[in-house]
Amino acid sequence: MKKITILCVVSFIILTLAGCEDSLTSHELPEQPAVLKTVDVAGTGTGGLEYNGRAYLVYGSVGMKGLRKKDIKECVGYVYREDYPDDTELHIYTLANDKNVDFLVEYYTVGVMEQPMFLRAIDTVGKDIEVYDFIDFYSPWSQGFWDMGIDTSGGELVSEVDSHSGLDDEGIYLSEIKFPDDSALTQIKNNEYWTELPFSDNIKRFFNENGDEIIQKLPEITHGYYTFYDRDSDADPYDDKDLYDGDGFYFDIMIYDSDTNTLLCVVDK
């Protein structure tokens, strides 16, 4: 009985992957393909892609439901990589029924057992858009990034520092994003995940006790808001009550200074 079950599971996985591959490799590059280049996405500590003036960040992979031919609209181009300038096989596709092109699909057509990856437009942060059931969400910057309610593409990355090092890659990532007006503040006030300063007792303790040079140099903010997301929480990740219950810290804190229209993004681990 166990052998039959294992065979069924393996067969299902093979069929799912085959379906994904068929749905993507059936689209050749257009005559004039778009050449997408990587960009730094402010406030995320990772890179994304730029397409038609919009920045996209990796959002997830194909879920158990699988990706079908009818889910894909067309191949629009490929990703240019400096390390492999002649390789045009990292194709980019759009999704059917995605009128605003809020998602892109990235797929390496000549790889072995390659999985399609979904990217989501940064300017959809805080917006109610359709999220497809064939996407298995696991954004590299956690669910908290999408819930924070601020479209960071409207700001300018002023500074970025990272102290992560060592075998455990411990440290702090900090970025500072400056906005030209208070439009971000309006978004924050309409978002349930933001809390007006001052910080909670646990977050105050973290900032007071953490010896990382980056934390010690954080500016004092009197007026503003903050949002917290615990990536190691088994309960409510937006609640910091269990911050000191684990073996380490795995969280994101965003602080908005309403006096200067500046967003500070703090990532621990």
Residue found by looking up tokens 């068929």 in the block: 22
> Are the C-beta atoms of residues 139 and 61 closer than 8 Å to each other?
no
Instruction: Look at residue 79 and tell me whether its pLDDT is greater than 60.
Output: yes
pLDDT digits (tens, 9 = 90+) for 46-60: 678 999 999 898 888
Total-model pTM: 0.68
Q: How far apart are CA 175 and CA 159, in angstroms?
A: 6
Does residue 128 contact residue 102 with C-beta atoms inside 8 Å?
no
Rounded CA-CA distance 147/143 in Å is 7
Q: Binning pLDDT at 50, 70 and 90, where does residue 170 land?
A: low
Confidence band for 141, pLDDT divided at 50, 70 and 90: low
Compute the average pLDDT of residues 95-124.
Answer: 89
Q: Is the pLDDT of residue 240 over 80?
A: yes
Q: From CA 117, how far away is CA 146, in angstroms rounded? A: 17
**The predicted structure's pLDDT at residue 14:** 35
Alpha carbons within 13 A on the beta-carbon side of 269: 11
Alpha-carbon distance 29 to 91, whole Å?
Answer: 8
Distance from C-alpha of 119 to C-alpha of 146, rounded to nearest angstrom: 12
- Contact assessment for residue 75 and residue 55, using Cβ atoms and an 8 Å cutoff: no
pLDDT at 115 over 90: no
Token pair for 191: 């978002």
The CA distance from 170 to 24, in Å, is 38
